[in-house]
Amino acid sequence: GAVVSQHPSWVICKSGTSVKIECRSLDFQATTMFWYRQFPKQSLMLMATSNEGSKATYEQGVEKDKFLINHASLTLSTLTVTSAHPEDSSFYICSARGDREKLFFGSGTQLSVL
């Protein structure tokens, strides 16, 4: 079945550094991928929609200059958290739309900013 690979699974970084998270569709093409964030004990929330070959669409309240999304190919979307701060510490997960409107999720990335 369709698989979405996300890495790294976890990352610890110092405040002020940038972190890149990759999301790949392994056996299908994904023109659209989605990035979500989950704070501890809270629901997942959509951050942005990543569109291949065009600019991402960000949800209200999500800073586009802080969370840079690049979707340069049909199988890869990246989320870069720029100048990360402790309040950016969260669980980030991507998903991609496959056949028959199924949604396939990555395994998620736990980001801890010190």
Partner 1 sequence: KNEVEQSPQNLTAQEGEFITINCSYSVGISALHWLQQHPGGGIVSLFMLSSGKKKHGRLIATINIQEKHSSLHITASHPRDSAVYICAVRVEGTSYGKLTFGQGTILTVHP
Site residues for partner 1 per CB under 8 A = 9, 32-34, 38, 42-46, 49, 57, 59, 91, 93, 95, 97, 101-108, 110
How many whole angstroms separate alpha carbon 30 and alpha carbon 93? 15
Tell me whether residue 32 or residue 82 sits nearer to partner 1 (CB atom).
32
CB of 31 to partner 1, least distance (A): 11
Tell me whether residue 59 or residue 63 sits nearer to partner 1 (CB atom).
59
C-alpha 89 chain-centroid distance: 13
Tell me whether residue 83 or residue 107 sits nearer to partner 1 (CB atom).
107
CB of 34 to partner 1, least distance (A): 4
Contact 1, 102 (CB under 8 A): no
C-alpha 38 chain-centroid distance: 11
How many whole angstroms separate alpha carbon 23 and alpha carbon 21? 7
